[in-house]
Amino acid sequence: MKPLLLTLLTGLLMLSCSEKKQSAADNPFFAEWTTPYGVPPFDQIKDSHYEPAFTEGMTRQLAEMDSIASNPDAPTFENTIVKMEKSGKLLTKVGGVFFNLTSANTNDTLQAIQARISPKLSAHQDNIYLNADLFARVKTLFDQKETLNLTGEQKKLLSDTYKYFVRGGANLNDEQKAKLRKINEELSSLYVKFGDNVLKDNNAFQLVLDKPEDLAGLPENVKTAGAEAAKAKKMEGKWIYTLHKPSWIPFATYSTRRDLREKIVTAYTMRGDNGNESDNNEVISKIVKLRLEKANVMGFPTYAHFILDDRMAKTPENVNGLLMKVWPPAIAQAKRERDDIQKMIDKEGGNFKAAHWDWLYYSEKIRKEKYDLDEEEIRPYLQADNVIKGTFILAQKLFGITFEEKTDIPKYFPEVRTFVVKNAEGKEIGIYLSDWFYRDSKRGGAWMNNYRSQSNMDGNRILPIIVNVGNFSKPQGDTPSLLNLDEASTLFHEFGHALHGLLSDVTYLSISGTATPSDFVEFPSQVLENWLLEPEMLKLYAFHYKTGEVMPEKLIEKIRKAGKFNQGFATTEYVAAALLDMGYHSLTNADNLDVKSFEKKTLDGIGLIPEVVSRYRSTYFSHIFSGDGYSAGYYSYLWSEVMDADAFDAFREKGIFDAVTAKSYHDNILSKGGTIEAGQMYRNFRGRDPEIGPLLKKRGLN
C-alpha cells in the first residue's frame, strides 16, 4: 500500500460527479493489458482516460478497504495485511502511468488534471488511514506480532503498515482528524502549484542571440546546440540558450561575455522569485505553515521532528550534527577557491569583484591552468550511448545481469529505448526504459521511477518496469550526444536507483525496490558513481566518438589528479541547501513567514559567501516543496554518501569488480527492498556501521 499512496501523492482531484462512466471497451485502464510484459499501452491511452480511471480506482480500493474493515472474522495477517497489499490495483495502474508522464512527457491538459486530482487523492489516503475499524485490525495484529509466527519480511510489513496508520493520524481524535484532512488537502494542491510554477519559469526564459560575437568563447558543440534550439523555435540564423542545465551550464562555463553569463545565471537563480504569476514565495510560506500545523497535530514540535522520526537520522540534532561536521572544512575550501578566482580575474586585468555568475567560467579556466584539464577534452570520450553501455557492462560484471534491447515493447515517446533485463541464468527479471534526452515536456533534472514495482505474492512473480529519465543534450547532426563529467556521473547515479528497483526480490509490493527511508535510498545510487572514473572501468566504455580510441592514460591521470578540484564549491552549495531545508522545517512559529528574508537570514547565518549560491534557492527547491519526498530530507544525499564512500572502500580492498563483495552487496542491499531496517542492511553488508572518514577523504576535506 505504501508505494501506491506515496507515488500518487507526490503530485496529487476534484472530479466532477457528472463524469461519463467508461468501460474496458473505451478506456484501456479498465482492461487487462496484453502488451509485451504488461507494459502500459501508451498509444491507446488518451488524456481523457485518466480521471475516470482515477475515480473508479479510488472507489474500488475504498470498497476493498471497507470489506477488510468490516470482516466479522478475527484479524489475521492474511485477511488484513495481505488483503490490503492486494487492494488498489486499478489505482496503482493509472497512477503509475499518469505521474510518470506528468514528469517525463507532460502537457497543459495533464497539468490541469494533476491540479484537480491532488486534493481528491489526498482525501483518499486519509479515508484509508483514518478508518478506525481498519486501524483496529492492524493494531490488534501489531500488538500480537511476536506470537503470530511471521517471517521477518512479514513482521517488517506489519510494523510498517501500523506505523503508516499512526503517522497518517489514526490515533488522533475526531477534531484533530478533521484538521489533518484539511491540511493534507491544502498541501496537495500547493505542491502541484509549486512544481507548475517552476516548470513555467524554466520554459519561459530564452537567451536569444543574433550576433556571432555574442558567442565568444563557446566551443563549437555549444554553438551548434544554440543554433539547433533556435531552429526548433523557427529562428534560424540565431542562437537560443535556456534554463535547462545542458544549455545554460555550458554557456556559463565558456562564454567570455560576462554580461550574458550574468543574464542567464541570474535568470536561473531567480526562478519562482520574479513577482509574476509563477512566483512561489507565497506558496512556500503557506506550505511551511501548514507543515508545522500538521506536525503539531501529530504531537511533534516541528515538521523536521515529525519527518525524521521515520528516517535513519531520527532527529534534527543528528542531521545538523552531520552537516556541521562537513560545513567548516567545506566553506574554508570554498573561500580558498573564491580567492583563486579573484586572483585570476585580477591577473587578467578584470576590474571587478568575483560574482556567482563568474564561478563556472573561472573555475574551468583554473582547472585548465592547474591540471591542464579542459572539460571539452573529456566530452568526446563520454558519448551518451557509450556511457549507457558502460552502466550495462558494470551491471553485468558486478551482478551478472544483461540488458537486451527490444523494439516491440510500448513506449510513451519515440526516443525512449526499451530493454528486457535478464539475470546470469538467462531468467527475465525486469523491464528497463531509458529516456535520457531533453525536451520541453519534461521537468528538469534526472530521476528513476517505476511503472510497476516488483512483488511475488502467492507465487505470482511480477516483474518491475523501471524507467530512467534525464535531460541531456540531444545528438546534433552527425555529432552524438556528448556528456560532461557531471552528466555522466548523474547517469551512473540514476542507473544505481534503477538497479535497486530491478534487482528487488521480495514478496510484498509495499516494501520492494526503493521503498526504503529517503536517507538510505540514495546510497545504492550514489555508490555506483564511484565506478565512473575508475581506470579499469573507463577502459570498458570511454571511447572517442570519432576515432574509437579508448580514453588515454594521460587524460585519465589528469582527471584523477583534478578529482577533488572545486569540491569546496560543490560541497558548500549542497550543504547550504540542506541547512536551508532544515531551517524551514525546524521552525516552531511559521506565521507571516517572509521567504526572502528567512532564506537570507539562514544563509548569512551559516556564513555562505555571496560568490556561491545555495544549490537550490527556496523558490525552485522542488525536492522539498513540490511534494513530501525530501522535505526535511535534502540532507539524505550526504547521509547516504557517508555510506557510499565507506561501502566503496570495501570494493577497493578486494578489487572494484570483486565477485564476492558484489554478491554480498546484492544479497544484503539491492535485493532486500525495505524488508529489513536500513541500518541493519548496511551492517549485514559491511560488518559494521559506516564511518565518515572515507567521505571527507573523497571530497578532499580531511
Instruction: Flag whether pLDDT at 88 surpasses 70.
Output: yes
Percentage of the chain beyond pLDDT 70 is: 96
Its pTM stands at 0.92
Residues 431-466 pLDDT 10s: 999 999 999 899 889 999 999 999 999 999 999 999
pLDDT band at 21 (very low <50, low <70, confident <90, very high): low
- pLDDT given at position 22: 66
Predicted pLDDT of residue 23: 64
Helix segments in 10-107, DSSP class H: 50-69, 83-85, 89-104
CATH architecture of the domain with range 281-373+566-634: Orthogonal Bundle (1.10)
Phi, psi (deg, nearest 5) at residue 118: -55, -55
What's the whole-number mean pLDDT along residues 421-431? Answer: 98
| pLDDT mean across residues, the chain | 94
**Residue pLDDT, tens place only, 544-564:** 999 999 999 999 999 999 989
Is CATH 3.40.1190.20 the classification given to domain 2-171? no
pLDDT band at 24; cut points 50, 70, 90: low
Q: Distance between CA atoms of 21 and 53, rounded to whole angstroms?
A: 9
**Strand pairing report for 428-437 and 465-472:** parallel
* Active-site annotation holder among 85, 337, 364, 494: 494
What dihedral angle (degrees, nearest 10) is formed by the CA atoms of 183, 189, 192, 197? Answer: -110
User: Is 213 part of the annotated catalytic residue set?
Assistant: no
Write out pLDDT tens, residues 319-339. 999 999 999 999 999 999 999
Q: Would you say the C-alpha torsion 76, 78, 84, 85 has a positive or negative sign?
A: positive
Q: Where in the sequence of the chain do the CATH 1.10.1370.10 domains occur?
A: 281-373+566-634
158-167, 312-321, 372-381, 508-517: segment of lowest average pLDDT: 372-381
pLDDT digits (tens, 9 = 90+) for 60-83: 999 999 999 999 999 999 999 999
- pLDDT for residue 375: 85
Q: Where along the chain do the CATH 1.10.1370.40 domains lie?
A: 2-171, 380-561
- What cell does 463 get? 516483474
Between CA 175 and CA 180 the distance in angstroms is 9
Give the mean model confidence (pLDDT) for residues 466-476.
Answer: 94
pLDDT of the residue at 476 = 84
Mean pLDDT in residue range 352-361: 98
- Please, what is the Cα angle at 75 between 71 and 81, to 5 degrees? 95
pLDDT tens-place string over residues 204-218: 999 999 999 999 999
Residues 91-121 have pLDDT tens digits of 999 999 999 999 999 999 999 999 999 899 9
Report the pLDDT value the prediction gives residue 701, as an integer from 0 to 100. 86
Q: Determine the topology of domain 380-561 in CATH.
A: Neurolysin; domain 3 (1.10.1370)
| Cα dist from 440 to 141, 436, 447, 548, whole Å | 49, 13, 16, 32
Alpha-carbon distance of 344 to 337, in angstroms, equals 11
Using the predicted structure, report yes or no on whether residue 11 has a pLDDT greater than 50. Answer: no
